[in-house]
């Protein structure tokens, strides 16, 4: 089980996730993806829809909310509650059907699913490996190192950092990749398109 997390919201987790799934499925690997909790479903859950298209089957989030806020906040606004036990049970059941599943979180590792429980807690308790998606722009070095450090402190294994390069936001785009490679002892991959997934997707199944 792999948790795909981000250094922030809007860094391209879904783009990376569906690219990995599409490429691996083209290689006849039995993989899929799953959005655990999705907020901002107005009127549809767009991330889950994209993941469903990549996996070739309808895959709905375990929980979905209209408000584009953290899951714990959205649950309060909707006057409902989120069951961590239900989430863990459904993740384990879904994982048993595939060679590997990429579970996409919401925002970053410390986003609260409930007020007492984060995505980092989920990764630790289920023994998930983590893939960190980071947006290639100024500030990414600090955000990435903090996310890696949080995993290390909780004994959660980070498989790699995927530096998502959408466009040239600023001058740091030219140096962030080499900087992160020097600062981290884990693999760092540049990513901008489906074709880039071929450089490292297979290694995530090891």
Considering the candidates 22, 35, 137, 159, report the single residue annotated as catalytic: 35
Check the annotation: does 106 bind a ligand.
Answer: yes
Report the C-alpha gap between 74 and 171 in whole angstroms: 37
Check the annotation: does 58 bind a ligand.
Answer: no
Strands (E) in 28-68, as ranges, are: 31-35, 37-38, 63-64
Check the annotation: does 39 bind a ligand.
Answer: yes
Between CA 170 and CA 130, with CA 38 as vertex, the angle to 5 degrees is: 65
**Known catalytic membership, residue 22:** no
Check the annotation: does 10 bind a ligand.
Answer: yes
Half-sphere exposure of 21 (CA within 13 A, CB side): 27
Check the annotation: does 105 bind a ligand.
Answer: yes
Report the C-alpha gap between 167 and 137 in whole angstroms: 9
Contact call for residues 106 and 38 (beta carbons, < 8 A): yes
Check the annotation: does 118 bind a ligand.
Answer: no
Check the annotation: does 164 bind a ligand.
Answer: yes
Of how many residues is the chain composed?
Answer: 206
Report the C-alpha gap between 38 and 140 in whole angstroms: 24
DSSP state of 43: S
Check the annotation: does 202 bind a ligand.
Answer: no
Check the annotation: does 104 bind a ligand.
Answer: yes
> Is omega for the bond preceding 93 within 30 degrees of 0, making it cis?
no
The structure tokens listed for 22 are: 């599409």
DSSP state of 172: G
Check the annotation: does 88 bind a ligand.
Answer: no
Check the annotation: does 11 bind a ligand.
Answer: yes
Check the annotation: does 195 bind a ligand.
Answer: yes
Catalytic residue set:
35
**Binding site membership for ATP: which residues?**
10-15, 47, 104-107, 164-165, 195
Q: Which residues are annotated as a binding site?
A: 10-15, 39, 47, 104-107, 164-165, 195
Instruction: Write out the binding residues for substrate.
Output: 39
């Amino acid at each position: 089980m792999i948790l795909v997390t981000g250094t922030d919201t809007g860094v391209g987790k879904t783009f990376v996730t569906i690219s990995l799934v599409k490429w691996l499925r083209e290689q006849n690997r039995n993989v899929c993806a799953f959005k655990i909790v999705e907020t901002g479903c107005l009127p549809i859950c767009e991330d889950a829809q994209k993941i469903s298209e990549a996996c070739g089957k309808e895959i709905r989030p375990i929980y979905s909310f209209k408000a584009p806020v953290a899951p714990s906040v959205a649950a309060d606004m909707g006057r409902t509650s989120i069951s961590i036990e239900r989430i863990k049970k459904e993740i384990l059941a879904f994982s048993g059907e595939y060679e590997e599943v990429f579970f996409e979180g919401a925002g970053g590792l410390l986003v609260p699913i409930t007020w007492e429980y984060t995505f980092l807690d989920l990764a630790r308790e289920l023994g998930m490996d983590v893939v960190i998606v980071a947006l290639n722009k100024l500030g990414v070095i600090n955000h990435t190192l903090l996310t890696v450090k949080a995993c290390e402190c909780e004994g959660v294994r980070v498989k790699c950092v995927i530096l998502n390069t959408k466009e040239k936001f600023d001058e740091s785009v030219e140096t962030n990749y080499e900087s992160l490679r020097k600062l981290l002892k884990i693999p760092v991959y540049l990513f901008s398109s489906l074709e880039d997934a071929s450089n490292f997707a297979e290694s995530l199944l090891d």
